[in-house]
Structure 1
């Protein structure tokens, strides 16, 4: 995997749909460019009403290139950069006179306050928009800075509700809510219980102690109870000490829990907790995980056969390419570039870039306000442009994507296979895991 260099690298220049309301409104054309917005000079719309002529459009990226989430940041960068490079190789942004897309990378260092300070630097410069930051807690702190400066912020894989619950006009969330992972996990447990007659009656909800994990645990507990499951325990362990989950796994074994519904943010934590299950000698009917590190390629690579049968909910699984031709094309492109498949994080970062590219292709002015207006009008179907995640993208009045759904997958023979929803399934589930 190629890594971004520092600023000396010339490739890195240091509810309800709104569309129903806006459908008949034209985008603001020829908006006045803010002073210093672009390093390149734009001529504005020509006298015949043509597009603005811009040599380049600079896009800020706030990603964790170092720290605990560095693996996510690097794969995200590669996915975004791949989209920008492909656009440039095919003539740039036609609607802006063939403008080249230039990433301006800032390292959040897997730290919310650092993400905020890096965002402050970007909004004071010449970026047209910012993509970031993989971590919901960091985005919750950094995105208000972009909003105050009227710079569009496009979330990458950040799905916390609090990000868009504040009514910010310049903050957009293409990813499904994190709590949707809980909904999908419990919905699948209900579905598979009815289909096979093997129902998980007793559930333990086990997550890390981070804020987004607590939000997820709340949703898991509520959804499980709503669907008639008995939540015997809801427990947490320190995210910095995943092996501390040993006591909780022992408790699950002693209480004969049917299913542990788990969340671990990083691949390292997901791997560590799965090994704890092995050490304790506990195999429930199934381990169902709600997004996070279990969907990463390293989970399967590091654990080998031990990864098999883990069930996970995530935004994107490479296996879905069998059902979506455009996903196969872009996954092959990414694999040629990095040696790895797209996954939950890189796939959603790719589609965040897809949203920006689509909006730029529809705006007629290289201004932040014009881009925001175009983002509000987003209407992407699966396979449009670079969008490859079911079921597309359309923003509601909070600028949250109302279309995206979670996929449920299972590790089988070292590969993640989509097992739900049925229209995207490429394999049947191995259920129950404990025979």
Structure 2
């Protein structure tokens, strides 16, 4: 793996299959020419989100190898895929710069983005060149309201995930005899967390929950003591948080240290650490019983287990970034097959008009609507039980029954 540096951004170029780099401009090139199509992966390889970017890279590399080993893009004469990794450096401005560099380096399509703020600027940059861009896991509803024909979102939107989260919460709470009546919301102050707070405050009361307070904090946050002291005074039955990894860990550990244990526990929506084995293994007591509604691979798909093994073999802790980026690369490859071209317009049209296998994500067939949103994207509801992250809803993917109230 060779690292390159230039005035715009740093990125890593991964060559797959031992073939020379070459961008296709027309379909039907013969196998003898050994063409290569470049797929850009935009991820935070450095900065505060670097752990997420590293897992995404592992998943994407796994998919690239599978595709190339199976004969490449057959409609393009067996073209091999080459992965270009653009480093967003965990901030929005650098995400736009890295996207422009991926375009300059010949990427036919870009996938990834990770965070909503980064994805917002990166997709805007891609739109200037009509460069196809498939978002992996950024959830802000605002991403798909800009009428950008080159932008597609593979994962569920925030509103889609919130519908699932609230439906499951009502089911879980009703089964417990309505153990949770009061809720406190704790959220980061960016697009992700602010969206959560606004939506939950609007919808929870109609479902029989009293929202006692919504508490905002910056990202990054260095201290959660004041937040937890406020929760101690409020004594909610349930906490609904939405943070990125570091803040989620800090929050959960501070709750544990201050012995603040709401009887319903934590029910997260896109909890940054709640669906990460790093959190579970490093802080097992703080993690036990935590529920999350988040991106998660189908636990009954054998390839999901292989991805987990690949992550562990690399000395990393498994989280959703690996399966979702494996899957989004698979969708990009299918789009190239349908397009029979690496020309931007043909790829965009293929993404608009076709259905796609969803890799290891529990989406069935992925289909993008007129806004670019995958209408079949589905988050899974998980809970940490006995040091393992178990799917508890929906039933067809479930590995365990929910334990609620967690601290009852």
TM-score under structure 1 length normalisation: 0.85
Shift of 1:336: 6.5
Is 2:91 the counterpart of 1:111? yes
How do 1:71-90 and structure 2 match up within 5 A? Answer: 71-90=51-70
Q: 1:392 to 1:330 in 2, by over 3 A?
A: farther
Q: Distance in 1 between matches of 2:220 and 2:315?
A: 29
CA deviation after TM superposition for structure 1 residue 52, in Å:
12
Match of 1:405 among 351, 369, 378: 378
Residues 201 and 341 of structure 1: is their aligned pair in 2 closer, same or farther, counting only changes over 3 Å? same
CA contact (8 A) 2:56 2:326 kept: yes
Superposition deviation, residue 338 in structure 1 = 2.8
2:301 maps to 324
Aligned mates of 2:283, 2:290 — CA distance in 1: 11
The residue number in structure 1 matching 2:326 is: 350
Counterparts in 2 of 1:397 and 1:204: CA distance versus 1, 3 Å: same
Give the deviation of 1:378 after TM superposition: 3.3
1:201 equivalent in alignment to 2:181:
yes
1:395 paired to 2:368 = yes
Q: 1:309 to 1:349 in 2, by over 3 A?
A: same
Residues 326 and 388, structure 1, Cα contact 8 Å, conserved in 2: no
Number of equivalenced pairs? 396
Gaps of 5+ in 1: 14-37
Task: Report SS of the residue matched to 2:274.
Answer: helix
Distance 1:271 1:336 in 2: 21
Q: What's the counterpart of residue 137 of structure 1? A: 117
The secondary structure found in structure 1 opposite 2:366 is coil
Give the conservation status (yes or no) of the 8 Å contact 2:14–2:85: no
Distance 1:200 1:326, change over 3 A: same
Conserved 8 A contact 1:79-1:349 = yes
Query: Does 2:247 align with 1:269?
Result: yes
In the TM superposition, residue 240 of structure 1 has moved relative to its aligned partner by 1.8
- Checking the alignment, whether the CA contact within 8 Å between 1:355 and 1:387 is kept in structure 2 is no
TM-score, normalising length from structure 2? Answer: 0.90
Are 2:336 and 1:360 aligned? yes
Shift of 1:242: 4.7
2:348 paired residue among 342, 364, 372: 372
For the 8 Å contact 1:92–1:99, the answer to whether it is kept is yes
Q: What's the counterpart of residue 177 of structure 1?
A: 157
Pick from 391, 396, 421: which aligns with 2:394? 421
Instruction: State the distance in 2 between where 1:345 and 1:122 align.
Output: 20
Q: Secondary structure at the match of 1:295?
A: coil
- Deviation of the 1:281 alpha carbon: 1.2
Give the gaps of 5 or more residues in structure 2. Answer: 6-11
State the Cα RMSD in Å.
Answer: 2.4
1:204 partner SS: strand
**Local SS of the residue matching 2:131:** coil
Q: Report the alpha carbon displacement of residue 85 of structure 1 after superposing the two structures with TM.
A: 1.4
**Deviation for aligned residue 1:343:** 2.4
